[in-house]
Structure 1
Amino acid sequence: MEEVVTCFLKCLPLVSLMICCCISLTGAAEDQKGLERIEACSTKCSQGLDCKKTNFLFPSLCQSPPEDFKTSPVFQNISLSTVLRCEERHKCSMHLRIQTRMRIKDFIHGVSICTSSAGLIPNCKVIRFSQDRLTETLPKPLVDIENDCTMISLRQEVQITVETVPSYCGIKWTQVYTAPGCSNEDLQRHIPDCITHPTFAGVWISAGKLLYKVNPEEKSITVNVSEMRQDHNYNLRLCYAKRYICMSTEPVTVIKKEDTIKSATLSYSRLVPCLCIEGWSAVLDARRVQVCPFKQNVEELWAGITFDPIEASLLWQPLCPVTAQVTLCQQEHGECIDLPNTTHNVTRQKVKFTGVESHPQLCMKFSVNSEDWIRCPFGDRFTAWELSRQPEGAVLLTSPAPGIFLVELCEVEAAVPPKTCQSTENYTINVEKLKSVAVPLPSELPHRTFCLQVRRQDVLYSATLVHCFDPILETGSNTSVNPTCIIVIAGVLLALVILTTLMLHIWLTVHQRRIQKRKDDSCHYEKQKGCAPVFMVSSLPSKSALLGTVFVPDSPQNRSNEKTNLLSH
């Protein structure tokens, strides 16, 4: 048993907290629900009892109660609530509804209801019962009574006292009731004080509902208005919310009360976080409703950077209050390197950098909550100075604007430009507008890649760039000769010559073989027909051949035949 009691005591605070939360949530839900409407105030009694209401200012004096009142209560289940009586949609009044159940006796003629508030005269109502329907004829001794003819105002604290008629001392019911305020959505739409004035807490409550649609192509916002006052025009505008004011961006647009479609189109320049849609009824001191749907568009704040070429100054001012850091940086190799001593913390004030070189690689970095945005205001609109290498080896510096430049010579191991240049020599060069000036390089450059680091000296904030050059450069030629390329080209040419000779040799061999085959085939054919043998004669003619004689083998028989032939001739 002790363990059960201990557990209960430990859980009691948690149970109490849950009960309180449930009660609070229930009260909040009741405060937001719709209120009941009445056509006219009235007094009602149950069981067909005829009730008549009369008014008087002050309650009557009490008398000693009968003995019956001491044994059982007279009033039971008393409840208080607010109802609305409306002439038009936006012209409603608030009434206090009192409901009670009371025990009827023959010496009770009715009930009195008195309401009082601080600084106001008490107001009492008497509800009298008809004499022919009293205790003897009523089927039950309990009667339900309802009255809703007491007018109340917003957030009014009213003390209600219910007594019998005649009044008996000590026989009464008392309670304090607080009327709902403009936080109730039903009252926001139908009570004039909630529509045209702020609530008791100074919080603006919606005067109409605003629905919007953004048209990015046309840079416009279409706004539809609902639940507005039907008897007045409605004003709409776009504005920049700054602290307690909203600065207008354009003239007010008026929606006529006669218009069947309650909508308007508003133009904007950028959807910044503090851009709001504001609407209000066209009446004096009307309450205004604001809708600010673009609070996440922080990136839109970084636009609007301007450059003054006369002062050489960059200027940026936020359209909305924002806590940010603004820094000048140089864009290089995919990152923006901060320039030293250029960081500013801003909220609403403008940021101005004076003496800035209009170089495309100079940018502004905006940092908010460890997130960065880079904006480069010069971009392609401005032409930067440049270095160029001439065929004879000279380096020219050309600038679209007059300036003083510091040029530093440094040596590096590779052709990739370093982030920093270890200077060996430096020069100060004055450059006129659109003029080219030769950089005074040493007469003998090192036999490896050299770089030039250049920046303007006549401004406070400038870009520092490194340009690297190859020292191997032949005079009269725009490109240097690489020995490796020569070896490769010679090897290719030699291979082509060898390949051509080999192909020609193969072709001649095949051609001679074809000729020899044709001759062999011709002789074989002649032998079959009985032709005399053909002797091959050397291609080198002898002395006899040159004299026109025929060369035959020198044998004794041949010599005898030769003599015979000569004699016959």
Structure 2
Amino acid sequence: VSPSILEALTLSTAMKCAPPDGCSLLLRVQASLVLHESLRGLEACSMNLDTQETQCQSVRVSRASRRRQVGWQLQVHFDCFEVSVAQTLYVTLRTVPHFCGVQLDQQYHVEAGKFSYWADRSRKVILVQVPEVPGAPDYYVRLCLKWFTCNDVGVPVRVTMNRMSRTVSLPYSQELPCLCLEGWFATPDAVRMQACPFEDETEALWDAIRYHPGDRALSWEPACPVRGHVSLCWRPGPGALCHNLEHSGRPAHGRVQYPLVDTQPRLCLKFSTSRGSWVRCPFQEGHFQVPPISRCTCVTKGRRGRLPAAQGPGPRPSPQPQVTSLTSQWPLW
């Protein structure tokens, strides 16, 4: 018998409510197959991977159907299996009698609905609607910053089943792409459902610029994982193209620092990723106090000075930075 006679195994969760007994979660099992003259029936088994407990059901195919409908596609619906929230099941579909290699397997995690949410940007809060499942355990929800793991932002909120309102308000400070919601049932080893409301928004990342006047160090450290590059650039005027300074490129994997940088208003940081480029000019945008400086200063390690004055009449040329090979010695921390 060809393994292709078993075409599909479909699993889904349903809720059965029968007052006054209450509600229960059920696993629906459906199969699609091509009828074969040797096939007498189908068997579906569900094993709980945590307890190894197994439940099986079988469906018989009549002899008359096998004779008249050989080669036809047949849809089989099994009786529902009783399951619990957060269970992980391994479901097997086999023929009766069992033919070697003719089997379908599928792993399934029982979820009783996902939380829904809405971001109120004016109040800087995220409103989370916790799923309501009769008989389910309590539910946790939290905000976290997603790096290799998701680190807490604030304290997780526990929603009990007898709570009047199932809406939780979680305040946040910045709309970061790695700011995520996590929700899970209060059961051991519960699988956590996750959503990141601002995952396509990176604007706030480029504002994390610091300047240390003592050692004249300009630094940037991302609040979220970023793939791209950072470089110093020189913008001749408002709205003009910002020209990269040679040897200033750094990977944007972590903290980037440039020592011995003067506070030139036209000196900027350029961030480049697969989604585009962004320019921030911290000394022009008023993020830091800018002391009086020369008409043009260098941004190289160990050098600093004026450019030669313009020769002859006419407008002064736009000041440009003097960059030497010393810039290649700027470290990355």
Same fold (TM over 0.5): yes
Give the total of aligned pairs: 269
1:382 correspondence with 2:297: no
Distance across 2 between alignment mates of 1:215 and 1:149: 41
- Name the counterpart of 2:306: 406
The answer to whether the aligner puts 1:98 opposite 2:4 as a matched pair is no
After TM superposition, give the deviation of residue 345 of structure 1 in Å.
Answer: 1.7
Partner residue, 2:166: 262
Which residue does the alignment assign to 1:31? 10
The letter of the residue matching 1:80 is: L
With over 3 angstroms needed to count, the CA separation of the structure-2 counterparts of 1:344 and 1:174, relative to structure 1, is: closer
Report the alpha carbon displacement of residue 353 of structure 1 after superposing the two structures with TM.
1.0
* 1:359–1:384 Cα contact (<8 Å) kept: no
- Give the drift of 1:291: 1.0
Aligned-pair distance for 1:34?
5.6
What are the Cα deviations for residues 69-120 of structure 1, in whole angstroms up to 9, with x where unaligned?
xxxxxx9974436599xxxxxxxx95413224358xxxxxxxxxxxxxxxxx
Matches within 5 A, 1:82-121: 95-101=56-62
Q: Residues 272, 454 of structure 1: CA spacing in aligned structure 2 closer, same or farther, 3 A cutoff? A: closer
- Which residue identity lines up with residue 42 of structure 2 in the other structure? L
Could you tell me which of 149, 155, 159 is aligned with 2:90? 155
User: How much has 1:373 moved relative to structure 2?
Assistant: 0.5
| Cα deviation 1:380-421 (Å, max 9, x = unaligned) | 242342679xxxxxxxxxxxxxx9743633314422x2246x
Task: State the SS of the aligned residue for 1:277.
Answer: strand
Partners of 2:141 and 2:95 in 1: CA distance: 44
Whether the aligned pair in 1 keeps the contact of 2:45 and 2:93 (CA below 8 Å) is: no
Is 2:274 aligned against 1:355? no
- Find the aligned partners of 1:369 and 1:174 in 2 and give their Cα distance: 52
CA displacement at 1:371 relative to structure 2: 2.6
Q: Which runs of 5+ in 2 are unaligned?
A: 19-36, 47-53, 65-77, 296-302, 329-333
Is contact 1:241-1:247 (8 Å) kept?
Answer: yes
Q: Which has the higher contact order (CA 8 A, sep 6+)?
A: 2
**How many angstroms does 1:229 deviate by?**
6.9
Matched-pair contact (CA < 8 Å) for 1:326–1:365: yes
| Residue of 228, 234, 237 corresponding to 2:139 | 234
Counterpart among 264, 288, 297 of residue 201 in structure 2: 297
CA gap of 1:370–1:296, structure 2 versus 1, over 3 A, is closer
Paired-residue identity, %? 25
Q: Which structure shows the higher helix fraction?
A: 1
| Structure 1 segment 498-509 matched on structure 2, within 5 A | none
* Preserved CA contact (<8 Å) 2:247 2:327: no
Aligned equivalents of 1:218, 1:261: Cα separation in 2:
20
Which of the numbers 38, 42, 46 marks the counterpart of 1:80?
42
Cα distance 1:240–1:411, how it changes in 2: closer, same or farther (>3 A)? same
Query: Of Structure 1 and Structure 2, which has the larger fraction of its residues in strand?
Result: 2
**3-state SS in 2 of match to 1:235:** strand
For residue 188 of structure 1, the aligned residue among 111, 136, 139 is 111
Of residues 221, 241, 256, the one that matches 1:335 is 241
Corresponding residue number in structure 1 for 2:270: 365
SS state of the match for residue 300, structure 1?
helix
**Alpha-carbon offset, residue 265 of structure 1:** 1.2
- Mapping for residues 168-179 of structure 1, pairs under 5 Å: 173-174=97-98, 178=104
Tell me: CA distance 1:151–1:299, structure 2 relative to 1, closer, same or farther (3 Å): closer
- Deviation (angstroms), 1:294: 2.4
Spell out the pairing of 1:452-531 with structure 2 (5 A cutoff).
none
Q: Distance in 1 between matches of 2:247 and 2:263?
A: 19
* Residues 355 and 460, structure 1, Cα contact 8 Å, conserved in 2: no
Once residues 177 and 150 of structure 1 are traced to their aligned partners in structure 2, the CA distance between those partners, rounded to angstroms, is: 19
Distance 1:256 1:38 in 2: 21
Cα separation, partners in 2 of 1:345 and 1:36, compared to 1, 3 Å: closer
CA, structure 1 residues 290+177, in 2 after alignment: closer, same or farther (shift >3 Å)?
Answer: same
Q: CA 1:240–1:267 in structure 2 vs 1: closer, same or farther (change >3 Å)?
A: same
What is the deviation of 1:280? 0.9
Q: CA deviation at 1:156?
A: 4.7
**Regions of 4+ moved over 6 Å:** 35-39, 147-153
